[in-house]
Amino acid sequence: MRKLTGALAVMLALAALCPPAEAVDTHASCAVLMDAESGRVLYEQDAHRPRLIASITKLMTALVAAERAEDLDQVVCVRGEWLGSEGSSIYLKAGEEITLRGLLYGLLLQSGNDAAMVLACHTAGSEEGFAELMNQRAAELGMKNSHFVNPSGLNHDDHYSTAYDMALLARACLKNQTVADICATPSITIGTRTFVNHNKLLTRYQGCVGMKTGFTEKAGRTLVSAATREGQTLICVTLNDGDDWNDHCRLLDYGFETFPRQVLCRQGEVLGSVAVEGSLIPTVAAVTAGEVGYPLKAGEKLTMEVELDGSAAAPFAAGQPVGEAVWRKAGEIVARVPLAAQNGAGWDVREPLSFWERLWAELHGAA
């Protein structure tokens, strides 16, 4: 792979779209503000300290259940041994039939602990088995300071997470269309039940798209929110915050005003070319496989490098990987996009030249 610099290595000195807001303080014990696309942390306050997290646990419950469900409209018959959870409830009854989709709405909007237990036991056979799946998924997401023992978030010494880890979980939930859509639903009626979302930011903050509230006396108020503005989505997490609604509004405003999303490249931009072997086509253009954005505040700079394969052997179709573009901030890679062949290339199907034809061509070329 060769690296292109010089003309193709560009400096992005991008100013914020609005005057930068002052950094905000919160009433939380722990907090983090993260850009959903890039994962860049825009604000943090003791973000890696493990704490009780209460019902924001249910984001993990929803993600694991939704990812493992073959059909969200599958009907689940509630078993009596699955019931009896303390705390908030959607009042399920033994023998009742409800779809997985209905359970997810009851879980995320009404924060039903009984819905959480039914989802867990239906998915994994037991609460303990489901907790293993939760911890497995947490490890996959890089949640290094988290551990789950139940699907509801009930207080337990071995059940904890951090503001940063919960932001990683929120990123995954936003990428899961089922979970993201449910988190953004203000209210819904399913059968005889009407579920109303506990997240007041859905009506208080323009662009809010979720995600989950939580509370126990020991954990305090916990909240995970997300909001979208001008193509940028931010995630905010606070743990033990007595003024979480206002704190989230201030943090989200701070993020959007101070770190607006800058488009680094559009899909299909030509960033170089690659030699083609074994084809009549000598080269093929290398184009970006998607759009890439990154949040930058005034005065911050990125450098771009284009790394291209030495050549591409025919035949290949359009979209063949041919390299990568990366952006660095202070030497660290912060964004990247694959580069693909703009067009395909077939074999060179011409008949090979004879000895006399090759000799004539060489002599003619020399002349």
DSSP string spanning 35-94? ETTT--EEEEESTT--B--GGGGHHHHHHHHHHH-S-TT-EEEPPGGG----SS-----T
Catalytic residue among 29, 38, 85, 111: 111
Tokens of 125: 């056979």
Give the residue from 298, 289, 170 showing the smallest Cα distance to 224: 170
Tokens of 356: 């006399």
Which amino acid, 43? Y
Active site residue 111: yes
Strand partners, 194: 189
C-alpha separations of 179 from 28, 34, 58, 118, 221 in Å: 26, 19, 11, 17, 22
Q: Which residues contact 117 (CB under 8 A, 6 or more apart)?
A: 82, 83, 85, 127, 151, 152
Whole-number Å distance between alpha carbons of 244 and 220 = 10
- Biggest alpha carbon distance in the chain? 94
Tokens of 20: 């930068």
Active site residue 55: yes
Catalytic residues: 55, 58, 111
